[in-house]
Amino acid sequence: MTEPPARRLLLVHAHPDDESINNGATMAAYAAAGARVTLVTCTLGEEGEVIPAELAHLAPDREDALGAYRVGELAAAMKELGVTDHRFLGGTGRYRDSGMMGVAQNHRPGAFWAADVDEAAAHLVEVIREVRPQVLVTYDPDGGYGHPDHIQAHRVAMRAADLAADPGFRADLGEPHAIAKVYWNRVPRSVVEEGFRGLADALPGSPFTAVAALADVPGVTDDERITAEAGGPAFGAAKAAAMRAHATQIEVSEPLFALSNGLAQPIFVTEYYELVRGESGAAPGARETDLFAGLGTEGMDQ
Ligand SMILES: CC(=O)N[C@H]1[C@@H](O[C@@H]2[C@H](O)[C@H](O)[C@@H](O)[C@H](O)[C@H]2O)O[C@H](CO)[C@@H](O)[C@@H]1O
Ligand SMILES: [Zn+2]
């Protein structure tokens, strides 16, 4: 049997498109470096809006076929990033997109926001004990911007990290595994402010006519909370191509993109993280430039 890659990264996201927006460059960088990159997406994004007019028929209030279509968009995005291991939590369609906070779909049977966290976490424990990642990436407690599926993905990911390590939990799901480092997706406020400063000048050459608010950028926090960065310009083209693959949700006109609200935002090719569990491998006060920093050979063999 061939040995699994030494470095194993697990990312947990709410909808098809979040992985490319938040971590596309990071995923491409580690895939290119031979690490095993595993993506778990919690819903199919069934309740999304649809940008291309010719695909409007897929919408939840028409054919309700958007989820199945976005499965294909996600597969195309993973090809652009070189990621071959992507799964849906509990199997394809197990949990449904809950819609934005406060809509009736939040309480629809099967909605991810209405799911039992421990039951959903058990599905993720099975993946964690199989893949045995040293690093986990997910959202902060607010899900980056308060979307119920993002908040729930955070809760399920953090709960699963605890349960996967517990030798008294569900031995049928595999040998216990403790994830060495857990990061939340973040964007430093100074980077957002800089990105938006130049944005108005880039609008004329783009298909966009209006600019998003800084508050629309998920995970914005004080610079001091950023402990790591990854990805980078070498993987900017792969990230943009992956975002473009999610054509029902994202319109890309590099260096900008817009979601279905049409409001332009900068594409961040360097991606930022806050280490919330485990030890930093960087010097005190410095940022890591590798999420696996400090794990050494012992960390790679887990
Ligand atoms: C990036 C992200 O999390 N997208 C979600 C989000 O989509 C937004 C939603 O449709 C909103 O109403 C629009 O104004 C905004 O432009 C969209 O990005 O919520 C969807 C429904 O839960 C979800 O499918 C989509 O992936
Ligand atoms: Zn999302």
The total of other beta-carbon atoms located within 10 Å of residue 159's CB is: 17
**Whole-Å CA distances, 256 to 22, 107, 144, 242:** 14, 34, 19, 14
- Name the pairing type of β-strands 256-258 and 85-88: unpaired
CB 110 within 8 A of CB 157: no
- 148 pocket-lining for ligand 1 (C-beta < 6 Å): no
Q: How far is the CA of 163 from the centre of ligand 2 (A)?
A: 24
What does the pLDDT read at residue 205? 84
Positions in the chain whose pLDDT score sits under 50: 298-299, 301-302
Exposed/middle/buried for 279, CB within 10 Å: 0-12, 13-18, 19+? exposed
Q: Which pair of tokens denotes residue 234? A: 């070498």
Q: How far is the CA of 144 from the centre of ligand 1 (A)?
A: 13
Q: Which pair of tokens denotes residue 242? A: 């992956």
Q: Which pair of tokens denotes residue 145? A: 């911007």
The ipTM of this complex is 0.99
- 46 pocket-lining for ligand 1 (C-beta < 6 Å): no
Q: Which stretches of the chain are DSSP H helices?
A: 18-32, 66-81, 117-131, 148-165, 189-197, 199-202, 236-245, 296-300
- 97 pocket-lining for ligand 1 (C-beta < 6 Å): yes
Instruction: Concatenate the DSSP letters of all residues of 79-142 into one string.
Output: HHHT--EEEETTSTTSSB---STTSGGGGSTTBGGGS-HHHHHHHHHHHHHHH--SEEEE--TT
Instruction: Give pTM, 2 decimals.
Output: 0.97
Return the residue whose CA atom lies nearest to atom 20 of ligand 1: 48
Q: Catalogue all structural domains in the chain, each as residue range(s) with its CATH number.
A: 8-277 (3.40.50.10320)
- Closest atom of ligand 1 to 97 CA is 22
DSSP class of 71: H
Any known ligand binding at 150? yes
What does the pLDDT read at residue 201? 84
